[in-house]
Amino acid sequence: MIIKKFELDKLISLSSNFVLLYGENEGLKKDIINKYFLKNFKNKLEKFDENEIISNYDNFISSLLNKSFFDEKRCILISRLSEKITKLIESLDQRDLGDTLLIFNSNALDKKSKLRNYFENDKNKICIPVYADDAKDLTILANLFFKERKIPVSREIINIIVDRAAGDRQNLNNELEKISIFSYGKSQISSEEVSSLTNLAENYGVSELVDQCLSKNLVKTTKILNENNFSNEDCILIIRTFLSKSKRLLKLKKNFEESNNLEKTISSFKPPIFWKDKNLVQNQILKWSTKNAENLINEINDTELLIKKNSSNSINILADFIFSTANQSSN
């Protein structure tokens, strides 16, 4: 059963042991889980990667099926998925899971995906496509955040924050919280302070750093890195911006391979690509093969894990990844 973004309130009255969230907007996924699911589980969420489940398959199945009367209800989030997880779902399909909720968090899935079709075509399962937020959505969220906290900000500041979000409300929330803490006790906050707080040089943002790197423009990528005082705290935001834009690139590349029409690929893409970015995005499509774009996404996920495990050295880990990516030969 498909539940679209404008239908999310239907989740209040629906009941299922299986939920699939797929797409590139991790922030929206988190909001959906918190608002519509976790409140029924005392806000407790167990998290696993697919590899953990597959490597301990029998133990995991046993833990789901052999529950005592006194066990608490379980809400389990399984991420970093491949089509392999479909086997697990099929094996549980006719079993009584009681109050257990399994939420499957996947990257973007195309129409041919077995996992996506399995959920879409079963009325007892919930399938929620989660696409990138557009600038309008993020602007509304940012304005609401500051209004609720009675923090006076200008339209320019809102625009800076929304640009940094790169279509992902998790990025937006990170920036909003950072600014909220900084502005405590202040009567106003300037755009210059916001730029300094987020370690942005006046003419460059994280978005442009990522775009130039994906365009394999090593000179400009190096220039942006050298002119910004990025810190270890910025690394997660930057790597997630890479992930968001790389997923978009992969989808665009696949669309281009189907249509063989670059202009049509750009103009028909949803959410729309800003007119000023079209030439840049076209260049990226031509410089990456589908296989290399898929490999890049895996490298980004691995780099994020490495950054989290080595937070004190995260800026060097990220810089190595950026230079390596920008210096790759085309296709």
Helices vs. strands in the chain: H and E counts, helices first:
16, 5
User: Contact 289/331 with Cβ under 8 angstroms?
Assistant: yes
Q: Which two tokens stand for residue 326?
A: 């920008």
pLDDT on residue 181: 78
Say what angle helices 169-182 and 135-148 make with each other, to 10 degrees: 30
Q: State the pLDDT confidence band at 323, using cuts at 50, 70 and 90.
A: very high
pLDDT of residue 225: 85
CATH architecture for the domain at 5-129: 3-Layer(aba) Sandwich (3.40)
Cα separation of 37 and 8, whole Å?
11
Question: pTM score > 0.85 for this model?
Answer: no
Dump pLDDT digits (tens) for 233-249.
788 888 988 998 899 99
Per-residue pLDDT, averaged over 162-175, amounts to: 78
Confidence of residue 202 (pLDDT cuts 50, 70, 90): very low
What's the average model confidence in pLDDT over 87-106?
91
Q: How high is the mean pLDDT of the chain?
A: 86
Per the DSSP assignment, residues forming a β-bridge with 18 are 102
> Model confidence at 205, in pLDDT bands (50, 70, 90)?
low
Over residues 35-40, the mean pLDDT reads: 89
What value does the mean pLDDT take over residues 281-297? 94
The residue assigned the tokens 């230079």 is 323
What's the average model confidence in pLDDT over 142-153? 87
Q: Does residue 274 carry a pLDDT above 80? A: no
Residues 6+ apart with CB under 8 A from 207: 163, 164, 166, 241, 245
pLDDT at 153 over 70: yes
Question: What was the pLDDT predicted at 71?
Answer: 67
pLDDT at 201 over 50: no
Helix (H) or strand (E) holding 129: strand 126-129
CB atoms within 10 A of CB 58: 7
At residue 161, the pLDDT reads 83
**pLDDT for the residue numbered 219:** 92
> Residues 20-42: what's their mean pLDDT?
89
Inter-CA distances, 321 with 19, 164, 234, 324, Å: 34, 20, 15, 5
279: Cβ–Cβ under 8 A, 6 or more apart, which residues? Answer: none
Q: Which amino acid is at 163?
A: D
Task: Give the model confidence (pLDDT) of 207-224 as tens digits.
Answer: 889 999 999 999 999 988
- Could you tell me the residue ranges of all domains in the chain? 5-129, 135-198, 232-326
Q: Give the integer Cα–Cα distance in Å for 171 and 175.
A: 6
Average pLDDT over residues 269-287: 84
Joined tokens for residue 78? 């399984």
Q: What is the CA radius of gyration of the chain?
A: 21
Give the number of other CB atoms < 10 A from CB of residue 278.
Answer: 16
113: Cβ contacts below 8 Å, ≥ 6 apart = 83
Burial of 205 (0-12, 13-18, 19+ CB in 10 A): buried
For residue 198, pLDDT beyond 70: no
Structure tokens at 151: 């923090």
Q: What is the mean pLDDT of residues 37-52?
A: 88
- The type of residue at 89 is I
Per-residue pLDDT band for 70 (boundaries 50, 70, 90) equals low
